[in-house]
């Protein structure tokens, strides 16, 4: 089975029912995507499929249609995505476990709406849980990234 992940075509030999999360982590060694709840409630496993935020724990690899982007493919150390840069500037991450999913959700939001209101940010990010409670910093980072994207 062929997948396009972070711009590269990859071949995997797995059952079509295997969740994308496990293909990414166990078969391809892409560990930025995290296992949290396994029922699409926490957002730790959020990836983009053709630019849209999706929970990889609930997508069977056989049902996958489109290119997958993980946090590893969002930006590079030399050229961070605006969301990644804002996360650093606002020191959002504490334990860091949920952060890749948070950033992927925020990047998807900003791709659709580059000037979201606080309410729109809260709504878009509400399905991504953070046990450390950095929600005010997450909202500020999304606003900063939004401004950076609009100015680019």
CATH number at residue 49: 3.10.20.30
Same domain, 97 and 115: yes
Q: Which pLDDT score is estimated for 66?
A: 96
Same domain, 67 and 114: no
Nearest to 92 by CA among 48, 54, 128: 128
What are 9's two structure tokens? 């075509």
Q: For residue range 112-146, list pLDDT tens digits in order.
A: 999 999 999 999 999 999 999 999 999 999 999 99
Determine the structural domain holding residue 60 and report its residue range. 2-73
Same domain, 123 and 66: no
Same domain, 40 and 103: no
Q: Which pLDDT score is estimated for 13?
A: 97
- Indicate the number of domains in the chain: 2
End-of-domain residue from the set 55, 73, 91: 73
């Amino acid at each position: 089975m062929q997948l396009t992940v972070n711009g590269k075509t990859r071949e995997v030999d797995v059952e079509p029912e295997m969740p994308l999360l496990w293909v990414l982590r166990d078969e391809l060694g892409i560990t930025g995507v995290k296992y949290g709840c396994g029922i699409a409630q926490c957002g730790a496993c959020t990836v983009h499929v053709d630019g849209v935020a999706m929970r990889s724990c609930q997508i069977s690899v056989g049902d996958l249609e489109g290119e997958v982007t993980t946090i590893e493919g969002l930006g590079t150390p030399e050229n961070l995505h605006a969301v990644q840069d804002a996360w650093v500037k606002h020191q959002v991450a504490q334990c860091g476990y949920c952060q890749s999913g948070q950033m992927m959700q925020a990047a998807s939001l900003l791709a659709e709406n580059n000037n979201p209101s606080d309410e729109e940010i809260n709504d878009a990010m509400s399905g991504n849980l953070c046990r450390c409670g950095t929600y005010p910093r997450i909202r500020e980072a999304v606003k900063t990234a939004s401004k950076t994207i609009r100015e680019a």
